[in-house]
Amino acid sequence: MGRRTHIDRSDIVAAVNDLAHRGFVERSPDPVDRRRNIVALTAAGTRHLDDLDAHLADAQDELLAGFSSADRRTLVTLLTRIIDTHSSALPHP
């Protein structure tokens, strides 16, 4: 996860620990490599994610109220290009 998100391993561990404590994920040893963990979303985690997605959609609707659907797609495309262009410059933990 850390490599994919460019987040320090210790921060990932803290976040996963918090999510596990809240019942949103379950962690189990990888049967192929015991040094690794498999992190899986629980039913409670899925419900929480759905709730967050709804809040995000509401916030985007409010922020982008004057934008057409085409304008929103264009904005996402342009922002994604910016991120893709600059993400290669990020340090890898």
Is 92 strand, coil or helix?
A: coil
- With a cut of 60, say whether residue 92 has pLDDT above it: no
What is the extent of the structural domain holding 31? Answer: 2-87
**3-state helix/strand/coil string of 70-88:** HHHHHHHHHHHHHHHHHHC
pLDDT for 35 equals 86
In sequence order, what DSSP letters do the residues of 29-83 get, joined into one string?
E-SS-TTSEEEEE-HHHHHHHHHHHHHHHHHHHHHTTT--HHHHHHHHHHHHHHH
User: Is residue 92 domain-resident?
Assistant: no
- With a cut of 80, say whether residue 88 has pLDDT above it: no
- With a cut of 70, say whether residue 89 has pLDDT above it: no
* Number of compact structural domains in the chain: 1
User: Is residue 17 domain-resident?
Assistant: yes
User: Is residue 40 domain-resident?
Assistant: yes
CATH number at residue 78: 1.10.10.10
For the stretch 11-23, pLDDT in tens is: 999 999 999 999 9
User: Is residue 77 domain-resident?
Assistant: yes
Percent of the chain with pLDDT over 90: 74
User: Is residue 93 domain-resident?
Assistant: no
* C-beta separation of 73 from 47 below 8 A: no
- With a cut of 70, say whether residue 93 has pLDDT above it: no
Structure tokens at 90: 């990020």
